[in-house]
Amino acid sequence: MTEQPAAASGEFALGGALPVNRLGFGAMRITGPGVWGEPEDRDEALRVLRRAVELGVNLIDTADSYGPFVSEDLIAEALYPYPDGLVIATKGGFTRQGPGIWQPVGRPEYLRQCVEMSLRRLKLERIDLYQLHRIDPKVPLEDQIGVLRDMRDEGKIRYIGLSEVDVEQIEAARAIVDIVSVQNLYNLTQRDHEPVLEHCEKHGIGFIPWFPLATGKLAAPGGALDNAAERHNATPAQIALAWLLHRSPVMLPIPGTSKVAHLEDNLAAATISLVPEEVDRLSSLA
């Protein structure tokens, strides 16, 4: 493995001014089962975070709802004081009532509290990228985005992103404030958000695919994904990540894990060069 494989993924500038390596790390899986509570191996979770940075990751994505709060606490414990150039993106607006249970709350006073508490847990004076984890259908969008815009103007947020949105919602938010990233479900087998990805490309918005490693039946022996993995001496999951990086210049995959060995395998995907014919063949599978 090269010393910093994540750097081989290329660079994208959030908001046109904040450069990150395109292959990042998603810090959801360093919590307990059901994204609830402490990890089964806290020391290994801390090692994963430190190793990610050693391997060139400079975009770590988390949320106050991961744990809840556990993921942000672990990031600060493992990495503070943060190295120059490390971007920690977090999210707010999802509440937790138990393992696997998520409920959006977008009241402005609650979102303001979310930002303040994330700043405290992460030991930051300003959050580089703050994402509305879900739009709360019970609260006007302008109220939810408006309070984040206000906190940006106060210097507590640098850039604002969205999660699980369609093109219409992106444009409604952009009428209120600049949006620099969108985080939607997207992978080799699940591409319902193709129109959103194309919209992000058109407007220079970073697209952060969550659950990026899903391969499903496409990884079956003898298939196109398995054949590509054999050609590159790689795993199907690594090829799936490599395909994402080739799919679009605004793509910012954030594969997550709680194990150092798995982290190293994931980041090695950035060094895999697929030829256009392979990209097209894989693109045609879903």
Question: Domain of 184?
Answer: 5-214+249-258
In a domain, 159, yes or no: yes
Is residue 214's pLDDT more than 90? no
> What is the average pLDDT score of the chain?
96
**Each residue of 41-50: pLDDT tens digit?**
999 999 999 9
pLDDT class of 1 with cuts at 50, 70, 90: low
In a domain, 286, yes or no: no
Instruction: Judge whether 100 and 37 are in contact, CB under 8 Å.
Output: no
In a domain, 281, yes or no: no
Residue 186 falls in the annotated catalytic set: no
Instruction: Judge whether 251 and 22 are in contact, CB under 8 Å.
Output: yes
Catalytic residue among 66, 130, 159, 186: 66
| Mean pLDDT within 261-283 | 96
Q: What is the SS3 string spanning 143-188?
A: HHHHHHHHHHHCCCEEEEEEECCCHHHHHHHHCCCCCCEEEEECCC
| Mean pLDDT within 6-17 | 98
In a domain, 55, yes or no: yes
Q: What is the SS3 string spanning 106-130?
A: CCHHHHHHHHHHHHHHHCCCCEEEE
Ramachandran category for residue 35: left, alpha or beta (phi over 0 → left; psi -120 to 50 → alpha): left
In a domain, 80, yes or no: yes
How many domains is the chain partitioned into structurally?
1
CATH number, residue 60: 3.20.20.100
In a domain, 228, yes or no: no
In a domain, 266, yes or no: no
Instruction: Judge whether 214 and 188 are in contact, CB under 8 Å.
Output: yes
**Each residue of 173-193: pLDDT tens digit?**
999 999 999 999 999 999 999
In a domain, 198, yes or no: yes
pLDDT, residue 253, reads: 98
- DSSP, collapsed to helix, strand or coil, labels residue 55 as coil
